C-alpha cells in the first residue's frame, strides 16, 4: 500500500546551483538545508563519519537502547548519538516561534504557497550558531536561545529533542487532550479499525559538513557537530570539483533513498569552501484515509467566496472521527482540524479562518503566535468531521537572504563582519567565511493513498449534514507537527493548490 503524501524540499545557503528535487507519489523525499562558505584556507585532519537517525516500522528498540542509527551506507562509518532522547518545551517553543517569524517574512502578493520546513532551516541555523563567535554569535543567540538558557545548554537540549524525534518510540510528555479521548460511537461508522494499524511512519534526519581539505576546521566544532547533531564531517578536494560534487550528490542520494540523485548540478565553485547540509525525510500514511471515489473536480476560491473561482481542482473527501476546534469568543473565527498519521506521533493540522481568502489568511498570519496555535491544538476534541481537501502537488522556491536579515542574522551575510571563527581558524589566512545566498525549495504532494475499497462512500455523503466540516476550497494554512516533541516539520499557507 502506498504512503499518502510526499514532502520533499531543499534549502541551499550560498552560491548554489539550482537543485531539482525529484517527486515520486509513493515516497516522501528529503528537505535539504545546505550552506556554502566562501574562502579557501588550510588543511585539517581528515574526518569521515556519517550519522543518520531514522524512525521506521521496525519493532521498538529495547529500553536500554531507545533509539538506533539507521542502516549505514557503504563507504561511510556509522556511530551513535551520545544524547539520550528527551523533550524540552522551551526548545520546541523556540522552533515554533522561529517558524512564525520566518513565515511572515515570506509573504508575497501573488504566491501560490509559502510552505517551508522550519525544522530543517533551524537545524542549519544551529550548526552555524555552533561555529559562530563575537557579534555573529550574539545575533544567533537572540533568536535561537530560549530565555534563562545559555547557548551550550540550548545545543544539548536541541540535540536531545532531535534524538527523541528520531526515536522509534518517542517520549510524549505533551499528550494533547484529543489524544486521550475515544471517538463517539457512530452506528454508521463501520470502517473503523478494531486493532492498531501497523506502523508506517518514517522520519530520517541527516546532517553533513563537507569542507575543502585545506581548510583548518576547528576540531572542537567537528566534535560537537558529530556528538550533538550526528553530522558527517567529510573533506572534499577543491582541485577536483567534479569528484566533490559526486561525493555530495551520492550522500544526498543515500539519505533520500535514491529519490534525489543530483542535488548539485555542475561543479562546485572554488570559493565554496564549506557545504553544510541537512536532509529531512518524512513518509507516512493517514490514520483515517481519504476515499478515492469521492475525489472530483470542484471550484477553488483564492480570493474568497464573493469573488469568482478562476480554476477548478481535484477535491478529495473524507469523513471520520478527527480532532477539531473552532475558536469561540475571541477576535478571530478560525477552524482547525487535525489529520493524524497512523503512528499517532505526527499530525497535519489544517487551519482556516471563516470566509477565507488570501486577505483573511494574511490577517491570520499577522496575528497568529506559537502559543495561540498550541492553545488551539490543546482544546481540540475528537468529533465526527467531514474534510474536503485539494489533491495537491506543489513546488516552491524562495530566497531566504532577506528573511535571515529580517530575523536579525546580519553579520554572517557580511564578508567584513561575519565571525565563524569557532568553526574555521580564519586567522591563518585572514579570510572570513560568510553566507551570501540562501535558497529554499519545497515539493509537496498530498493524495488519498492508502484507502482500501469504497464501502464508506455513501455513508460519507449521507452524514455530511450532522458533522463538523472543514472545506478546503479556499485558502488555508498547513502545519505538520511532530506532536510528541512539538517540533514543526512543515508550515505555510496554500493559496493555489494546483
Q: Which of 366, 318, 343, 315 is nearest to 107 (CA)?
A: 366
> What is the pLDDT at residue 257?
66
Residue 453 has pLDDT above 80, yes or no: no
Q: Which of 389, 400, 404 is nearest to 477 (CA)?
A: 389
SS3 459: helix
Indicate the fold that domain 89-171+202-283+393-444 takes in CATH: Antithrombin; Chain I, domain 2 (3.30.497)
Q: Which of 380, 384, 397, 497 is nearest to 442 (CA)?
A: 397
pLDDT per position as a tens digit, 237-275: 878 888 888 888 788 777 766 666 666 666 777 667 777
Banded model confidence at residue 195, pLDDT cuts 50, 70, 90: low
| Section 464-484 average pLDDT | 84
Tell me the percentage of the chain whose pLDDT exceeds 90: 40
Rounded CA gap, 351 and 479, in Å?
8
**CATH superfamily membership of 287-390+470-494:** Alpha-1-antitrypsin, domain 1 (2.30.39.10)
| Section 376-380 average pLDDT | 94
At 46, phi and psi to the nearest 5?
Answer: -75, 130
Residue 72 has pLDDT above 80, yes or no: no
pLDDT per position as a tens digit, 25-62: 333 334 445 555 544 333 333 333 333 334 444 333 33
pTM of the predicted model as reported, rounded to 2 decimal places: 0.81
Tell me the percentage of the chain whose pLDDT exceeds 70: 70
Banded model confidence at residue 442, pLDDT cuts 50, 70, 90: low
SS percent in the chain: helix, strand, coil, step 5? 25, 25, 45
Rounded CA gap, 22 and 262, in Å?
9
Q: Residue 458: count other Cβ atoms within 10 Å of its Cβ.
A: 10
Rounded CA gap, 126 and 145, in Å?
10
Banded model confidence at residue 23, pLDDT cuts 50, 70, 90: very low
| Section 472-493 average pLDDT | 94
Decide the pairing of beta strands 468-471 and 334-340: unpaired
> What is the pLDDT at residue 50?
33
pLDDT per position as a tens digit, 386-435: 999 999 887 676 778 889 999 999 998 888 898 989 998 877 666 778 87
pLDDT per position as a tens digit, 73-94: 333 333 345 689 999 999 999 9
pLDDT per position as a tens digit, 326-367: 997 667 899 999 999 988 889 999 999 999 999 999 999 999
Rounded CA gap, 133 and 192, in Å?
55
> What is the pLDDT at residue 335?
96
Rounded CA gap, 248 and 237, in Å?
12
Give residue limits of the domains in the chain.
89-171+202-283+393-444, 287-390+470-494
Amino acid at each position: 500500500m502506498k504512503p499518502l503524501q510526499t514532502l520533499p524540499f531543499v534549502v541551499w545557503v550560498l552560491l548554489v546551483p539550482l537543485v531539482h528535487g525529484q517527486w515520486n507519489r509513493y515516497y516522501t523525499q528529503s528537505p535539504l538545508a545546505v550552506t556554502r562558505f566562501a574562502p579557501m584556507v588550510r588543511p585539517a585532519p581528515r574526518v569521515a563519519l556519517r550519522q543518520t537517525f531514522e524512525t521506521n516500522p521496525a519493532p521498538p528498540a529495547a529500553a536500554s537502547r531507545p533509539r538506533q542509527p539507521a542502516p549505514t551506507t557503504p563507504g561511510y562509518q556509522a556511530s551513535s548519538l551520545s544524547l539520550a532522547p528527551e523533550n524540552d518545551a522551551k526548545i520546541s517553543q523556540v522552533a515554533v516561534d522561529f517558524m512564525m517569524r520566518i513565515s511572515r517574512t515570506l509573504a508575497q502578493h501573488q504566491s501560490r504557497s509559502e510552505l517551508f520546513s522550519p525544522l530543517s532551516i533551524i537545524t542549519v541555523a544551529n550548526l552555524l550558531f555552533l561555529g559562530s563567535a563575537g557579534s555573529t554569535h550574539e545575533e544567533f543567540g537572540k533568536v535561537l536561545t530560549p530565555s534563562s538558557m545559555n547557548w551550550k545548554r540550548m545545543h544539548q537540549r536541541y540535540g536531545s529533542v532531535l534524538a527523541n524525534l528520531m526515536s522509534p518510540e518517542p517520549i510524549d510528555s505533551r499528550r494533547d487532550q484529543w489524544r486521550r479521548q475515544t471517538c463517539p460511537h457512530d452506528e454508521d461508522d463501520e470502517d473503523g479499525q478494531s486493532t492498531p494499524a501497523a506502523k508506517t511512519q518514517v522520519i530520517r534526519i541527516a546532517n553533513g559538513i563537507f569542507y575543502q581539505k585545506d581548510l583548518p576546521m576547528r576540531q572542537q566544532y567537528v566534535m560537537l557537530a558529530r556528538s550533538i547533531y550526528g553530522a558527517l564531517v567529510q573533506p572534499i578536494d577543491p582541485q577536483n570539483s567534479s569528484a566533490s560534487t559526486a561525493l555530495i550528490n551520492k550522500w544526498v542520494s543515500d539519505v533520500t533513498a535514491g529519490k534525489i540523485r543530483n542535488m548539485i548540478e555542475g561543479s562546485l565553485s572554488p570559493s565554496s569552501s564549506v557545504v553544510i547540509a541537512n536532509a529531512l525525510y518524512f513518509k507516512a500514511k493517514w490514520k483515517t484515509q481519504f476515499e478515492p471515489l469521492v475525489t472530483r473536480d470542484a471550484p477553488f476560491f483564492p480570493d474568497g467566496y464573493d469573488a469568482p473561482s478562476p480554476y477548478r481542482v481535484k477535491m478529495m473527501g473524507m469523513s471520520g472521527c478527527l480532532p477539531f476546534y473552532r475558536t469561540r469568543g475571541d477576535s478571530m473565527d478560525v477552524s482547525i482540524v487535525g489529520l493524524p498519521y497512523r503512528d499517532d506521533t505526527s499530525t497535519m493540522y489544517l487551519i482556516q479562518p471563516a470566509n477565507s481568502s488570501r486577505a483573511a489568511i494574511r490577517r491570520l498570519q499577522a496575528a497568529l503566535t506559537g502559543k495561540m496555535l498550541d492553545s488551539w491544538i490543546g482544546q481540540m476534541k475528537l468529533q465526527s468531521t467531514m474534510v474536503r481537501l485539494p489533491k495537491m502537488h506543489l513546488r516552491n522556491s524562495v530566497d531566504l537572504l532577506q528573511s535571515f536579515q529580517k530575523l536579525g542574522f546580519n553579520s554572517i551575510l557580511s564578508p567584513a563582519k561575519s565571525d565563524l571563527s569557532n568553526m574555521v581558524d580564519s586567522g591563518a589566512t585572514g579570510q572570513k567565511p560568510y553566507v551570501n545566498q540562501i535558497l529554499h525549495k519545497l515539493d509537496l504532494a498530498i493524495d488519498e493513498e492508502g484507502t482500501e475499497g469504497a464501502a464508506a462512500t455513501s455513508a460519507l455523503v449521507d452524514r455530511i449534514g450532522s458533522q463538523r466540516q472543514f472545506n478546503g476550497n479556499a485558502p488555508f494554512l498547513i502545519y505538520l507537527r511532530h506532536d510528541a516533541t512539538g517540533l514543526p516539520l512543515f508550515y505555510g499557507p496554500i493559496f493555489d493548490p494546483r
